[in-house]
Structure formats: structure tokens, C-alpha cells
């Protein structure tokens, strides 16, 4: 308990403390590149973003000593230098860090950009920077399609590599919020689609816009399913996935990541077909979760394709942090609220 709490205090001190210095360097680059083409600014910004995210991973992966095990197409997919649409299930505020863990193994961590909740714009220091990095803010219930299209068009530039991350469920599948789960299940019934057991009903509009406007840019969709060890009780009842602070304190010992690579030529090219297609592969995610829970080895005979070179030793750039420090830890509490 003391070790975990110390890890949280020291880790948050470094991660938050370095932010002002990092943003200072970014502002210098922003000013220096003002006369350069936009893609050149983005190249430099991606390098800076990569440095900071590697610091984040040092604390969340290396210091916690969490074991990352990957399945499916991960071994082959992560050898490629691709622009991808990264679609993931959503059950924890740690899910965005899982994208870090996957992309760093492909050498693409600097290219991560997120479709994220509008409320995160209010984060001091980070809120504006995420937007400048190419992340796309969307407002729940008041979706601004034109704003999203403008952001997507910027990412179409051939010299801007992108891993665009989206959580189609919109909010976390969190057993402590049964009303959210029931509302999602009722939405499925109202739309005559099968109710999901382990996920919220996915919304397809944002995914469709990304596919429509980036179809020629993207190489593939990465369908990612994340499972946190130890969230199923002995009686089979599902518990809550660890959130940011719990994870940083080392309370999650193993993370299972199943990655399926879907070439863009296999993705439907009209919105209605994509909506049906997406719900079908969320049904497949449901089956995968069920199999993983039932299997003693957490893999299941049908899905256990362990990628030893991916799930083995952490890359050097995850093990070695940047030498910065200061003190603050409240950001994680705010971030968890904003991600809810």
C-alpha cells in the first residue's frame, strides 16, 4: 500500500511537473515553424509528443511492472508503419494509455490522436495542446459534424502519419453505473440490434466520418479489445476495471490486448453498412471477452496467439524516462472525471 501510494505521488509529480517545461518547448517550436508547411510543424510536434508519452509510459508500464500480453494480429501489424483508425472497447480511464502501449511497440506513439470528449478542453495546459496536436473534440449530445470534418481533412495530408483513436461506445462500460448500461441496452432494443453483454452499444457516426474522409489516407483499422486481469470475481460477477490512480499504484498485474488488423478495402463504404458491420464486430468482441473469462489461461484456444516479441521486454524508450521533476497529483482525479 505504501509502495503503491509512493509510486502514485512520485509518478504524478514527474508527469505533471514536466508539463509546463514541455509546453514551453512546444511553444518555441510552434513559433519557429510558423512559416513552414503545416506538415513540418506536425512532424516536430509528433516528436515532442512522443517524448512526453514515453515519460508517461515509464511510470504507468515500467514502474508498475504490469505485464502486457498481446494476441491476434499484433505481431505482424506492429511491424508496419501505417496510418490507422484504432477502435477500442472502453471500460477504464486507462484505455488511452493502452493505445500508448500498443503504438510505442510499432514506433508510432508520436502519431497518436484521439477523438475525445469536449470536457477535456478544460484541462489546464493539456486541453489546448491536445487540439493543436490534432486531437478532435466532440460534444456529447451536440455533435458538430462540420468541426470534425475540418479536423479530419487536416489529417489527410500525405506527410502526416496518424493513429486516430476512437471509443465508439462513447463512455465507459462501468458496472457501478448500471443506469448507463441499461440506457445503452435500451438503445439497442429500440434500434432492433442485439444487446451486448460486455460492452455498451457502439455509436457509428464518428467512425463513419473518419472512414469516409480518411479512407484513402488510412491503411487499416486496428480493432483492439482490452482486458484487465483480476476484474472477474470468483463467483463470476464482473467487477470494475482499474482506473488511472489504481493502475499507477500497481493494482493491475496483467493487461491482455487483442488486436485485429482490418485492411481498408474490407471496410464498408457506406454509412448504413458500416453501422451494421460495426455492431457485428462488437458482437465478436463480446464473444472474445466471454472466452477470455472462461479460459484458465486468459487466452482461450481460439484466440491465444501470443506474440512473444511484442509481449516480451519493454522497449528501451519505455524503460528510460526524461529527467524532469516537480510536484502535483490532482490532475489524475480531474482527468478521470472528465473521461467518465
Q: Is the pLDDT of residue 327 over 90?
A: no
Confidence of residue 315 (pLDDT cuts 50, 70, 90): low
Average pLDDT over residues 217-242: 84
**The pLDDT of residue 316:** 44
pLDDT in tens, 27-79: 999 999 999 999 999 999 999 999 999 999 999 999 999 999 999 999 999 99
Mean pLDDT rounded to a whole number for the chain: 85
Name the 3-class secondary structure at 331. helix
pLDDT in tens, 124-149: 889 999 999 999 999 877 778 888 99
Q: How far apart are CA 264 and CA 274, in angstroms?
A: 12
- % residues pLDDT > 90 (the chain): 65
- Looking at the chain, the number of H-run helices and the number of E-run strands are 14, 7
pLDDT in tens, 188-213: 999 999 999 999 999 999 999 999 99
Name the 3-class secondary structure at 24. helix
Q: How far apart are CA 249 and CA 271, in angstroms?
A: 42
**Nearest Cα to 91, choosing from 177, 1, 216?**
177
Grid coordinates belonging to 37: 508547411
**The pLDDT of residue 3:** 73
Q: Is the pLDDT of residue 307 over 80?
A: no
pLDDT in tens, 85-112: 999 999 999 999 999 999 999 999 999 9
**The pLDDT of residue 235:** 61
Query: Helix axis angle, 205-214 relative to 271-294, nearest 10°?
Result: 120
Fold of 67-316: Glycerol-3-phosphate (1)-acyltransferase (3.40.1130)
Confidence of residue 179 (pLDDT cuts 50, 70, 90): very high
What's the Cα-to-Cα distance from 164 to each of 5, 152, 214, 326, rounded to whole Å?
Answer: 33, 10, 10, 31
Sorted by where each begins, the domain ranges of the chain are 67-316
Grid coordinates belonging to 149: 470534418
Q: What is the enclosing helix (H) or strand (E) of 46?
A: helix 38-57
**The pLDDT of residue 234:** 60
Amino acid at each position: 500500500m505504501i509502495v503503491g501510494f509512493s509510486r502514485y505521488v512520485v509518478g504524478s509529480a514527474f508527469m505533471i511537473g514536466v508539463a509546463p517545461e514541455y509546453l514551453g518547448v512546444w511553444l518555441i517550436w510552434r513559433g519557429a515553424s510558423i512559416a513552414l508547411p503545416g506538415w513540418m510543424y506536425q512532424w516536430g510536434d509528433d516528436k515532442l509528443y512522443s517524448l512526453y508519452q514515453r515519460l508517461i509510459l515509464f511510470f504507468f508500464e515500467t514502474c508498475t511492472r504490469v505485464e502486457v500480453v498481446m494476441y491476434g494480429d499484433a505481431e505482424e501489424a506492429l511491424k508496419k508503419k501505417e496510418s490507422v483508425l484504432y477502435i477500442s472497447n472502453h471500460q477504464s480511464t486507462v484505455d488511452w494509455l493502452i493505445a500508448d502501449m500498443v503504438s510505442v511497440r510499432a514506433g508510432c506513439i508520436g502519431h497518436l490522436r484521439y477523438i475525445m470528449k469536449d470536457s477535456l478542453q478544460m484541462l489546464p495546459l493539456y486541453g489546448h495542446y491536445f487540439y493543436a496536436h490534432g486531437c478532435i473534440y466532440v460534444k456529447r449530445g451536440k455533435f458538430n459534424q462540420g468541426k470534425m470534418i475540418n479536423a479530419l481533412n487536416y489529417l489527410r495530408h500525405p506527410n502526416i502519419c496518424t493513429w486516430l483513436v476512437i471509443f465508439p461506445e462513447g463512455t465507459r462500460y462501468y458496472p457501478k453505473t448500471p443506469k448507463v448500461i441499461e440506457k445503452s441496452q435500451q438503445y439497442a432494443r429500440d434500434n432492433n440490434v442485439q444487446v451486448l453483454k460486455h460492452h455498451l452499444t457502439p455509436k457509428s457516426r464518428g467512425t463513419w466520418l473518419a472512414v469516409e474522409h480518411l479512407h484513402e489516407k488510412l491503411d487499416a483499422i486496428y480493432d483492439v479489445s482490452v482486458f484487465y486481469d483480476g476484474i472477474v470475481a470468483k463467483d463470476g460477477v464482473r467487477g470494475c476495471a482499474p482506473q488511472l490512480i489504481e493502475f499507477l499504484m500497481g493494482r493491475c498485474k496483467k493487461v491482455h490486448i487483442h488486436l485485429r488488423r482490418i485492411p481498408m478495402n474490407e471496410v464498408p463504404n457506406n454509412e448504413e453498412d458500416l453501422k451494421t458491420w460495426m455492431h457485428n464486430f462488437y458482437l465478436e468482441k463480446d464473444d472474445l471477452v466471454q472466452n477470455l473469462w472462461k479460459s484458465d489461461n486468459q487466452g482461450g484456444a481460439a484466440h491465444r496467439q501470443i506474440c512473444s516479441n511484442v509481449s516480451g521486454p519493454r522497449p528501451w524508450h519505455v524503460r528510460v524516462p526524461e529527467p524532469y521533476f516537480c510536484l502535483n497529483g490532482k490532475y489524475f482525479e480531474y482527468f478521470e472525471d472528465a473521461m467518465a
